[in-house]
């Protein structure tokens, strides 16, 4: 099932990709992607539409039709492997926080953790361009799949009905890309399929609050057109994926729309999180038999066969070692967290790869979230040869390494390729929805407080190797609201670390740019190591770093854009 869909992406080297140049992508939101073949050829029949749907999905996984070793990909002006959607999104969400540091010296890489990026940084521009690229190809698909276009191409009946489902999925994918733009850049340029493409009109800027409303409206509008939860082809969006995105956006509603969004945003977050919970998902369970990995329900979420019988992942970005090759995605997440070769003191063999890249580690802040790593199976770190303190950001040996993504199956069998991994990236999963519901209700959203506590303890019970109905790792209701809901921020880090959630969570809790203090509870959170880039002890930074800047090159091209404050 997994390969049957993503194999469609292989043929898309014939139907070329949208070509965006990093310094000038806002104008390309208003331009039809450049094709080697005309749209009437590419979209000539139902098969063509399915192939192009695969192309839209693959925009989250691959970097260009020429393969990972081509001189350039979809986005020019940035290293092709670095330009991958998940790799860039993960870096912006993780390396900017206490969860991640990186050893490499590529242009702009150290700026992430040092929180000192600028509007001219290549990675700031590359991430921006990747988001707008995805939005562009979504708009193109939607313009080519209207009723009028289908009629002109003599597509009707069941084929037309299927394409109507594709449209809803593409609208979801566009909403997802716009959500990431909302979260990262705040006030991006905006255009949808209703605009005439190929004109010289530059896209107008949309405010953060208005984009929040647009995404909300769009996701609700497609509800009746998406397939029911867990009924779509693996790797494709359904109603539960849209519910999950709404729940995550509502949980951060105060960040995006201001204090007036509360408490309604928390009620909405709880409502949509529960829609996911009630859709038939369940946590990947622990087992008492099989290999060490097979017994660990949490670990099975991040293995090469995490597409098999997975009851927890709501929406994955699909990777396959033979069919979706890229130096980003889970290939990056797996290799960058391993040091050495098979002949070194740190063998990559248990990770199912040929060699490690020696890049990503964590600060002591994450490790200290697990006071008992022997009990909490989520606290799995490689420590031999590593120091706890990150004395040097650019030396891989400084900093413990979370062991999370592997290119091996639950049975311990290596993936299909030692370089490009088979592990899918869980964009949304059930444990996040449990914690979202519980936090939203605890913050004042309408819901069931006892159910909120039950959801939290269901997550913790799995983590502490308890079976359903047990009480391993259980906390009390008082814990949930202690220290300004600090429990939720810490528990989300324990459960969701290295899944590209941390920056957004820290901002929601007021702990991203400033040293957090709660005098009423006599509680304080110190800066993480190298925060601000000045010293290992870390320091506050200005609040404008809660948003990334619009690339300065874009401002010189599109006079409709106004830079985010502080840049």
- List Cα–Cα distances, 77 to 58, 71, 83, 92, 563, in angstroms: 20, 11, 9, 18, 21
Cα(first)–Cα(last) distance of the chain, in Å? 47
Q: In this structure, what token pair is assigned to residue 72? A: 């350039």
460 beta partners: none
- Do residues 28 and 17 make contact, with C-beta atoms less than 8 angstroms apart? no
- 78, pLDDT greater than 70: yes
Q: In this structure, what token pair is assigned to residue 309? A: 């019988």
- Measured from the Cβ of residue 10, the count of other Cβ atoms closer than 10 Å reads 15
Q: Before 263, cis peptide (omega within 30)?
A: yes
**So what's the pLDDT on residue 198?**
53
User: Domain boundaries in the chain?
Assistant: 2-225+548-557, 233-287+427-512, 319-423
**So what's the pLDDT on residue 417?**
96
- 34, pLDDT greater than 50: no
Which strand (E) or helix (H) includes residue 560?
none
Q: In this structure, what token pair is assigned to residue 178? A: 């716009």
Question: What average pLDDT does the segment 498-526 reach?
Answer: 86
**So what's the pLDDT on residue 22?**
41
**So what's the pLDDT on residue 12?**
40
**2-225+548-557 and 233-287+427-512 agree in CATH topology:** yes
pLDDT digits (tens, 9 = 90+) for 87-111: 999 999 999 999 999 999 999 999 9
- For the 2-225+548-557 domain, the top CATH level (class) is mainly alpha
| DSSP labels, 20-47 | EEGGG-TGGGGSPPP-SS-HHHHTSSHH
Q: Using alpha carbons only, how large is the chain's radius of gyration in Å?
A: 22
Residue from 417, 424, 428 nearest 58 by CA: 424
Q: In this structure, what token pair is assigned to residue 450? A: 């006892």
**CA count, 13 A, side-chain hemisphere, 101:** 30
What's the pTM value of the predicted model, to 2 decimals?
0.94
- For the 233-287+427-512 domain, the top CATH level (class) is mainly alpha
The CA distance from 237 to 169, in Å, is 6
For the chain, percent of residues with pLDDT exceeding 70: 90
**So what's the pLDDT on residue 72?**
81
Tell me the pairing of strands 523-525 and 516-518.
Answer: antiparallel
The CA distance from 304 to 410, in Å, is 8
The CA distance from 109 to 122, in Å, is 9
pLDDT digits (tens, 9 = 90+) for 457-473: 999 999 998 765 568 88
Question: What average pLDDT does the segment 529-552 reach?
Answer: 96
Q: What is the mean pLDDT of the chain?
A: 91
Tell me the pairing of strands 75-76 and 20-21.
Answer: parallel
């Amino acid at each position: 099932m997994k390969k049957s869909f993503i194999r469609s992406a292989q043929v898309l080297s014939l139907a070329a990709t949208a070509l965006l140049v990093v310094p000038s992508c806002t104008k390309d939101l208003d331009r039809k992607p450049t094709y080697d073949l005309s749209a009437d050829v590419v979209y000539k029949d139902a098969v063509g539409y399915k192939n192009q749907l695969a192309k839209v999905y693959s925009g989250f996984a691959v970097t260009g039709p020429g393969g990972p070793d081509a001189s350039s990909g979809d986005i020019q002006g940035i290293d092709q492997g670095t330009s991958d959607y998940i790799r860039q999104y993960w870096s912006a969400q993780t390396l900017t926080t206490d969860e991640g540091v990186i050893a490499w010296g590529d242009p702009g890489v150290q700026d992430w953790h040092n929180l000192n990026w600028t509007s001219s940084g290549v990675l700031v521009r590359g991430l921006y361009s990747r988001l707008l690229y995805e939005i562009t190809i979504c708009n193109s698909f939607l313009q080519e799949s209207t009723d009028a276009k289908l009629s002109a191409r003599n597509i009707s009946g069941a084929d037309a009905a299927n394409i109507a489902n594709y449209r809803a999925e593409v609208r979801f994918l566009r909403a997802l890309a716009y959500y990431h733009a909302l979260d990262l850049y705040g006030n991006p340029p905006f255009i949808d399929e209703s605009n005439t493409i190929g004109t010289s009109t530059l896209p107008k800027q949309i405010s953060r609050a208005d984009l929040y409303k647009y995404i909300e409206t769009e996701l609700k509008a497609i509800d009746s057109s998406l397939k029911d939860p867990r009924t779509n082809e693996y790797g494709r969006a359904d109603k539960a994926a849209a519910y999950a995105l709404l729940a995550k956006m509502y949980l951060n509603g105060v960040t995006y729309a201001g204090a007036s969004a509360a408490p309604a945003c928390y009620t909405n977050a709880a409502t949509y999180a529960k829609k996911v919970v009630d859709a038939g998902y369940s946590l990947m369970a622990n087992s008492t038999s099989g290999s060490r990995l097979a017994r660990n329900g949490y670990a099975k979420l991040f293995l090469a066969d995490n597409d098999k019988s997975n009851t927890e992942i709501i929406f994955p970005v699909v990777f396959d070692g033979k069919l979706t090759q890229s130096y980003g995605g889970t290939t990056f997440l797996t290799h960058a967290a391993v040091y050495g070769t098979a002949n070194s003191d740190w063998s990559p063999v248990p990770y199912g790869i040929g060699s490690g890249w020696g890049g990503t580690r964590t600060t002591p802040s994450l490790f200290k979230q697990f006071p008992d790593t022997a009990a909490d199976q989520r606290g799995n770190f490689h420590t031999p040869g590593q120091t706890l303190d990150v004395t040097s950001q650019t030396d891989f040996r400084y900093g413990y390494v979370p062991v999370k993504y592997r290119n091996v199956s639950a049975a311990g069998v290596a993936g299909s390729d030692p370089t490009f991994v088979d592990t899918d990236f869980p964009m949304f999963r059930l444990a996040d929805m449990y914690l979202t519901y519980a936090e939203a209700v605890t913050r004042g959203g309408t819901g069931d407080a006892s159910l909120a506590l039950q959801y939290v303890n269901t997550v913790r019970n799995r983590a502490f190797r308890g079976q359903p109905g047990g009480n391993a790792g259980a906390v009390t209701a008082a814990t949930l609201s202690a220290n300004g809901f600090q429990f939720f921020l810490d528990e989300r880090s324990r459960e969701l670390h290295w899944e590209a959630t941390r920056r957004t969570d820290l901002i929601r809790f007021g702990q991203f740019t400033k040293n957090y203090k709660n005098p009423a509870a006599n509680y304080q959170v110190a800066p993480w190591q190298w925060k601000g880039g000045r010293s290992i002890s870390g320091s506050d930074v200005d609040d404008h770093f809660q948003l990334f800047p619009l690339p300065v090159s874009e401002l010189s091209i599109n006079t409709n854009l106004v830079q985010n404050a502080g840049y």
